[in-house]
């Protein structure tokens, strides 16, 4: 397999945004479980090659493992999500995220297959999909992709200055109508020592 081909608007005619064409490999593995004998997971992300075509295809099928190649995914970098790439590239292990779903009805094989929906390098995209209860898995991005993403972040991401938050104890006290409130430690009423 070849290396990932990073395309950019400045060097590739017809490219609107920096992008990489990838294919996703999904794996079905046998597990020791009486109710669910198989488990699907993300196996790999590889550079897209012309020979892959555009249709998913079975790569391997034996008693313990099944692998499917899903070609034709474009991973684009958007300037308005530079912070999402910054959060990814500054982690200990930058990665790709893949959202996948099971087929509702078997179309690719005799039984439903896990089908990738989208691939991203954005931390924000992954978070939104997780919040939406989607199945999201990650896999480490290779060094060349990380450097490409870092270059994009260095060019487009602007760190916002942190505003110092005023401690709550310095805020003026107000009543429920927004009027200034007074707190007194002196006792005005009540019982006590009566002589």
Domains of the chain, residue spans: 6-156
Q: What pLDDT is stored for residue 7 in this prediction?
A: 72
Give pLDDT tens digits for 129-175.
999 999 999 999 999 999 999 999 999 888 776 666 655 555 555 66
Say if residue 184's pLDDT is above 70. no
CB count within 10 Å of CB 28 equals 21
Q: Which two tokens stand for residue 27?
A: 């794996």
Q: What pLDDT is stored for residue 181 in this prediction?
A: 61
**Do 73 and 85 contact (CB within 8 A), yes or no?**
no
Q: What pLDDT is stored for residue 163 in this prediction?
A: 64
What is the residue-wise DSSP string for 55-114? S-EEEEE-SSEEEEEEEEEEEE--GGGHHHHHHHHTSSS-EEEEEEEE-SS-SSSSS--E
Q: What pLDDT is stored for residue 23 in this prediction?
A: 97
CB count within 10 Å of CB 6 equals 20
């Amino acid at each position: 397999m070849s290396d990932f081909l990073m395309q950019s608007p400045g060097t590739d005619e017809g490219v609107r945004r920096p992008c990489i064409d990838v294919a996703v490999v999904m794996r079905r593995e046998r597990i020791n479980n009486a109710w669910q004998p198989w488990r699907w997971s993300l196996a790999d992300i590889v550079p897209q090659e012309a020979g892959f075509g555009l249709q998913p295809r079975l790569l391997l099928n034996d008693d313990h493992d099944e692998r499917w190649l899903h070609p034709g995914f474009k991973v684009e970098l958007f300037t308005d999500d530079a912070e999402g790439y910054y959060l990814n590239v500054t982690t200990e292990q930058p990665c790709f995220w893949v959202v996948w779903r099971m087929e509702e009805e078997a179309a690719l094989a005799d039984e439903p297959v896990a089908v990738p929906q989208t691939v991203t390098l954005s931390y924000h995209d992954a978070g939104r999909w997780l919040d939406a209860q989607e199945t999201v898995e990650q896999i480490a991005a290779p060094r060349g992709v990380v450097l490409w993403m870092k270059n994009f972040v260095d060019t487009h991401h602007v760190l916002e200055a942190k505003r110092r938050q005023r401690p709550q104890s310095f805020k003026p006290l107000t009543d429920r109508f927004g009027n200034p409130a007074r707190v007194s430690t002196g006792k005005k009423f009540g019982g006590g020592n009566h002589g």
